[in-house]
Chain A
Amino acid sequence: MSEATLPRLTVRYSAIGGAALAMFALILLVAGKDPLKAYIDTFHYTLANAYGFSELLVRMTPLLLAAVAVALPARLGLINVGGEGQLYMGAFAASAAAFAMPQAPAWILLPFVALAGFAGGALWAAVPGVLRAAHLVNETISTLLLNYVAPLVVSYFVFGPWRSTESSAYPQSSQFPEAALLPSYFNTRIHAGLFIAIVALILYWLLVEKTRWGIDMRAIGGNAEAAKRLGIPVSRWIVIALAAGGGFAGLAGMGEAMGIAGRLRQGLSPGYGFTGFLIAWLAGGRPLAILFMAFLFAVITSAGDTLQITQGVPYAVVNILLAMILFIVLARQSARRGAK
């Protein structure tokens, strides 16, 4: 791997973003919109505007955690497509923790809620981990399928036992106790989850690159047969890595519930878990690249909102932009492989 320094990465990913934006401009033109104005508006409402910028960081928070949730198991060659489900289960477990001790002071309740969020996602991901370690079910399939189950668990509780009595029109839980809410800063929606996410990213880097556990995990990813023959407990690591990944996704869910919504809702995540997969994959698991990609994806999804309001194009057009970035990255990788 070449040295992935910050300036190099910035140049590389800016070029990718630029190329994607140029192609997207063509599509906007064809649709009869003014791409230049669209981009200026987007820039104006997101990057150049204090509130807009804070919203980018808010969006980036769950994306970072969801990306780490994918990147960590990927070091063992495991494909965790279940970030979305793990995120929901994290939010669910955190909510359960908050409702369990409504009277507790914040210094007890907050760590407890965060721990519960991690545990919820971790246990949800441990199931595919155990199945994979026992050679029963491929983790790609089981994590993917569990994505369809987790939101139903949340739905059951917000329609049923936890349904708020204040407004019967909207399926959501009642408000969490004040002490369970993550503190927010600067009069924006930026909440403590951002720091958790950044700490998670640093932990991920330290774990994989700087510890002997990281060597074990990378050995499994590089050659599972050799790893097993050399006495590395492969099955155990598979469960641990998937569970830890799920835990990070769970923290993302916890952050959305405790930092943004203040209650448990049905549509907790607009696909953060899936976007996290793309980020981790495009970044090749490198921590700095994950940070950059998470920010870029936050910009793009925010751009969708802006375009919807200012240009009257549907939000879904940003999916075109996302797809273009994917294509360019793919093309770049195949070109590099072809050059070898």
Chain B
Amino acid sequence: MNAPVVEVRSVSKRFGRVQANDNVDLTLSAGEVHALLGENGAGKSTLAKILYGYTRPDGGEILLGGARVELHSPRDARAHRIGMVFQNFMLIPALSVLENIALFLSDLPAIIHPRDVEKRIREFGERFGLVVDAHAPVRQLSVGDRQKVEILKLLLADARVLLFDEPTKVLAPHEAEALFCVFDALKADGYAILFITHKLREVIRCADRITVMRQGRVTATFEKRDADVDTLVEKMFGSASHGAVIAPPGPQIPRYARNDILELRNVSANATGSETTLRDLNLNVHAGEIVGVAGVSGSGQKELGDLILGMRPLARGTKLFCGEDASSWSIARLRENGVAFIPEDPLGMAAVAGMPVRENLSLGTGSRYHHHLDIDWRALESAMTASFTALEFPMPPLDRSVATLSGGNVQRAVIAREMAHSPKLIVALYPTRGLDVRSAASVRELLRRACDRGSGVLLISEDLDELAEVADRVLVMFAGSIAGEFARARWTADEVGHLMTGSTEVHLV
């Protein structure tokens, strides 16, 4: 192995309460593809952004070619011949490929000689398998071709270290394969490539070395030949419990008769843009049961939640709510019949910042408090007070605008509203994401209690520990389908992790 061109030594970075990078060490050599593997939120992107000068680390140092450097901005990084391909491309759709690339070149003369640039684009393109029409406007290009333009931009700007932040997320499988061929060609030419992903198959396909991150720390670095899927999954999803049952045993007999609150039969849904197509889903949620949905982001969990909530139409199949065909029910009708929603981002998805708390509490309560043309505010207030009390939440002043409440209090207000009418089904979409440990625990506790009172809960989460703690059953989603289903205490992080990353075929209990 050559001497490393990039060396990261105990770099740390903290965002508020989150330790995004914790004493991270990493080396990257010329002529290698180094995969950076980890779950969402493991700190991979943060590390890449630090290397690109986009984020300043709190501590640690970065060495380039053995010399210590301070990267204050992406401009510094580019001057050190580091380039980055972002998840969202930085291209101007109306301009041609040539113009987009020319804009990025710092050594460009005031008067551009398009032919020179074009020649270089062709040279690089042919050498590395990055052939695109230099005169086509970027808006006409496929996603895969746009990514080629991004790479060409960096190559023409003389970058030798290339950082790829989840480059395959937006690509179709054949495009991803083409990208790996590009990696091979670049590697052969001595470029150093850092490849961020959470898909194991891709890592096995193209990486020379693999660094696994978990919760901001590097948990392992492997040579490709030493790595196998099992070890990687273990390092990604948690350590101690490899092969062991991590869920505590729960009650074996359902506390309620197995009434289906929600049932999906062969449900499919179409997708546009970056959404995930849902294929042939079958699931049910009983009264008094918490069904967890696990999956890496973009596997279709959000789409599934929206489909159940009535935000998204079914293309095929049937959605039954308490035995009734609710496939075409409106959001309002579902809510009126007892569907509640606990969102990831209450201020964005379930509250109106500019309106007072009182009015926010009335939103989405259907016709319960209608009083002629107005709302029976007294009845609403007493119902909401009862709900706040039952949840042991402090009641915020009703006349205050929601914009003035803290994030935690906004979430409490939303939860109190959603729980006020003993919902039959609670759809919780990443309800604890971004919460501190205590708040997260109290959200889990309230889901548990709602469940004890007979609600059915669908808990969509990325946190396997959370699912192990509260879910009676866990469904694993991958690429818009349900890849597996496990009963409480009958699964390991290992098995679920395999299914989440698509590294094993479907197997059901």
Contacts and interface: CB of A to CB of B under 8 A. Distances in A.
A229 B352 contact: no
A232 B309 CA distance: 13
B355 A219 contact: yes
Contact of B375 (A215, A219, A233): A215
B335 A223 contact: no
Q: Which of A210, A218, A227, A230 has the most CB of B within 10 A?
A: A230
A222 B351 CA distance: 9
A231 B335 contact: yes
Contacts, number: 70
B341 A229 contact: yes
Given A219-B355, A222-B355, A229 B349 contact: yes
A226 B375 contact: no
Given A229-B311, A230-B350, A212 B355 contact: no
Contact of A215 (B332, B348, B359): B359
B359 A225 contact: no
A219 B354 CA distance: 9
Interface stretch (B194-202, B282-290, B362-370, B443-451): B362-370
A222 B311 contact: no
Q: Which of B351, B352, B370, B374 has the most CB of A within 10 A?
A: B352
A187 interface: no
B352 A226 contact: yes
A5 B334 CA distance: 42
Nearest to A224: B352
B364 A230 contact: yes
B374 A226 contact: no
B373 A231 contact: no
Nearest to A211: B373
A295 to B, nearest CB: 28
Interface string A188-232: 000000000000000000000011110100110011011111111
Contact of B352 (A210, A219, A231, A233): A219
A9 to B, nearest CB: 21
B353 interface: yes
Contacts of A212: 362, 370, 373-375
Contacts of A226: 348-352, 363
B371 to A, nearest CB: 8
Contacts of B343: 229
A219 B363 contact: yes
Size category of the B interface is 20 to 34
Contacts of B336: 231
Given A211-B373, A211-B374, A230 B353 contact: no
B341 A210 contact: no
Q: Which of B330, B341, B355 has the most CB of A within 10 A?
A: B355
B320 interface: no
B348 A228 contact: no
Contacts of A215: 355, 359, 362-363, 375
Contacts of A210: 373-374
B143 interface: no
A218 B401 CA distance: 13
Interface in B365-423: 366, 370, 373-375
B405 to A, nearest CB: 14
A229 B331 contact: yes
A223 B366 CA distance: 18
B340 to A, nearest CB: 11
B332 A229 contact: no
Nearest to B365: A230
A92 to B, nearest CB: 32
A227 B352 contact: yes
B332 A218 contact: no
A231 B373 CA distance: 18
A231 B362 CA distance: 12
A69 B251 CA distance: 61
Contacts of B353: 222-223
Contacts of A219: 352, 355, 359, 363
Nearest to B339: A231
Interface string A44-81: 00000000000000000000000000000000000000
Nearest to A231: B332
A27 B311 CA distance: 58
Given A219-B363, A231-B332, A225 B348 contact: yes
A218 B351 CA distance: 12
B419 to A, nearest CB: 14
Contacts of B370: 212
A226 B335 CA distance: 14
Interface in B319-341: 330-336, 341
Contacts of B349: 225-226, 229
B170 to A, nearest CB: 23
B330 A227 contact: no
B362 A232 contact: no
A223 B364 contact: no
A232 B352 contact: no
Contacts of A227: 352, 363
Contacts of B309: 229
A212 B367 CA distance: 10
A45 B374 CA distance: 46
A218 B353 CA distance: 11
A231 B337 CA distance: 12
Contacts of B364: 229-232
B351 A223 contact: yes
B280 to A, nearest CB: 26
B378 to A, nearest CB: 14
B373 A222 contact: no
A230 B352 CA distance: 11
A212 B332 CA distance: 15
A215 B374 CA distance: 9
Contacts of A211: 373-374
5 A-B pairs closest in CB distance? A230-B364, A231-B332, A222-B352, A231-B331, A211-B373
22 contacts: A210-B374, A211-B373, A212-B374, A212-B375, A218-B359, A219-B359, A219-B363, A222-B352, A222-B355, A223-B352, A223-B353, A225-B348, A227-B352, A228-B311, A228-B331, A229-B311, A229-B343, A229-B350, A229-B364, A230-B364, A232-B332, A232-B363
Given A229-B350, A229-B364, 4 more contacts: A215-B355, A218-B359, A229-B331, A230-B364
